[in-house]
Amino acid sequence: MAFQKKYNTYLLAILAICFAGCKAGGNFPGMEYMPDMAHSKAVETYTPSPTVDNEVLFANGMSARLPVKGSIPRGYMPYHLKDTAEDYELAGSSVRNPFHDDREAVLKNGKKNFEIYCAVCHGKGGAGNGSLTSLGSGPYPPPPSYFKEGYLDMSEGKMFHSVHHGKNLMGSYASQLTQNERWEVITYIKSLQAKEAKSSQKLGSDEEALAYVLRTSAVSGGYVAPAEDEPESFLDALMSQKLEKGSTITLKNVFFNSGSFQLKPESFVELGKLVSILKNNPASKVEISGHTDSQGDANANLELSKNRAQAVMTYLVTNGVPKAALTSMGYGASVPVADNETEEGRARNRRTEFKVVE
Ligand code: HEC
């Protein structure tokens, strides 16, 4: 009995504390044991300074305060390169777009901010005819069109650098747009450039056009080597030839994310050529095969190679190659073409091939 009474008293005390703590809201932070700094009592901005013990708390009488020196907004990322010519080049070769593989997802936000911040000069379409410029209805000299040589292939790192630091007549956008927002805008600019490239370079599909723009700008930035001439011209040559039964061709410029079977956009140019070749040879039947190196688990490699071959096949079918003309196979590491002991050999073994079977 005595025990239960004591127990009830404790229970009541705890409930009382809970209720007292629950009244939080508005300017009252509630009662807390060891209060969190995030729940400090709010002082309204633009009101006279509060008083404590009849003394004005802040010397200038205002409640609005500057942030503590050195404080940074939540989510802020510093940018390590300086506003110098050398660092501009360095940005071109080393600063990569974090949305590289997921462009679609950020285009909407990129477009919105581009139209708010950039279109007044660069024009909604990117041709440099914004309303502030003499090509629009304004007094200022127009910025260069994004479609001119030197801009169409400008690396995304350089663009980011210029938008961060500003360039000549263009001011910095570092304080208007967060880093991610700046990248979203640049992703959008690249999509405008792809649209233009599709017609000017006579590219077949939107994907090919985007791959073209990304590839040329990655090459100009120096983070992708120019494509080797030989294999490319080899596929180009095949475009006007009849496919020969039994021939096997390695696709040099088909790329996947590491360990995954998602095609990288850089692959679409090469795959676009393959689409044309197969459409020109409607009587041929082709096997698409995936191969890995011998590193890692054999079953996982087999599965990965199957999925990669399947991904290529799906791309071809989606782009109009009849399904009946294709089969896909995964061989894992079982058909090496080079020594698995060296990195160079392993790189050659990780490949996608197509073989003309009929
Ligand atoms: C006030 C007009 C104006 C606005 C607004 C403006 N720009 Fe520019 N921009 C320019 C001019 C002018 C240049 C050419 C600078 C030069 O090379 O002298 C330029 C150049 C550029 C370049 C090429 C930079 C380089 O390295 O050569 C990029 C990329 C760019 N702008 C992106 C943007 C983005 C993104 C926005 C919006 C966030 C924007 N601009 C807003 C005027 C503007």
**pLDDT for residue 130:** 95
Which residue did the predictor score with more confidence, 227 or 255? 255
Q: What is the pLDDT of residues 259-284, one digit of tens each?
A: 889 888 778 888 888 888 888 888 88
> Ligand 1 centre and the CA of 190: distance in Å?
14
CA–CA distance, 151 with 208 (Å, rounded to integer): 19
User: Among residues 157, 186, 220, which one ends one of the domains?
Assistant: 220
**Beta carbon of 117 within 6 Å of any ligand 1 atom:** yes
Question: What tens digit of pLDDT does each residue of 16-43 get?
Answer: 776 766 666 666 667 777 777 777 667 7
* Distance from residue 213's CA to the centre of ligand 1 (Å): 19
Lowest-pLDDT range of 28-37, 69-78, 122-131, 308-317: 28-37
**C-beta of residue 329 within 8 angstroms of C-beta of residue 277:** no
Strands 326-330 and 55-56: unpaired
> What pLDDT score does 182 carry?
97
Among 122, 169, 178, say which to mutate for ligand 1: greatest number of ligand atoms within 8 Å of CB. Answer: 122
Please check whether residue 15 lies inside any domain of the structure. Answer: yes
Residue 344 lies in a domain: yes
Pocket test for ligand 1, best of 155, 159, 162, 188 (most atoms within 8 A of CB): 162
Domain presence at residue 14: yes
Do the domain assignments include residue 264? yes
Q: Which of 101, 102, 98, 93 is nearest to 256 (CA)?
A: 101
- CATH of residue 336: 3.30.1330.60
Cα(184)–Cα(186) distance, rounded to whole angstroms? 5
In a domain, 28, yes or no: yes
Average of per-residue pLDDT values in the chain: 87
Which domain-ending residue is among 220, 249, 280? 220
Distance 169 CA to ligand 1 centre (A): 8
Question: Which of residues 166, 186, 220 is at a domain's end?
Answer: 220
Q: What is the DSSP letter of 355?
A: E
Domain count, the chain: 3
pLDDT at 7: 83
Helices (H), 138-178: 156-165
Chain segment 88-142, per-residue pLDDT in tens: 999 998 999 999 888 999 999 999 999 999 999 999 999 999 999 999 898 999 9
Looking at the chain, list the stretches that DSSP marks H as alpha helix, in order from N- to C-terminal side: 2-22, 85-94, 107-113, 119-122, 156-165, 179-200, 206-221, 229-238, 268-280, 298-318, 343-349
Cβ-contact 303, 330 below 8 angstroms: yes
- State the residue range of the domain holding 273: 227-356
For the ranges 79-83, 175-179, 222-226, 270-274, the lowest mean pLDDT is seen at 222-226
Assigned token pair, 254: 């088909």
Q: What is the pLDDT of residues 201-233, one digit of tens each?
A: 888 888 889 988 998 898 888 777 776 654 455
- CATH number of residue 133's parent domain: 1.10.760
| Per-residue model confidence (pLDDT) at position 318 | 86
Nearest Cα to 213, choosing from 274, 256, 155, 145? 155
The span from the CA of 135 to the CA of 138, in Å, is 8
Is 352 domain-assigned?
yes
Same domain, 211 and 90: yes
- CA-CA distance, 227 to 252, in Å (whole number)? 9
109/111 Cα distance (integer angstroms): 5
Q: Are residues 115 and 47 in the same domain?
A: no
Does any ligand 1 atom lie closer than 6 A to the CB of residue 122? yes
Residue whose CA is at the smallest distance from ligand 1 atom 42: 170
- Measured from the CB, is residue 165 less than 6 Å from ligand 1? no
pLDDT at position 247 is 83
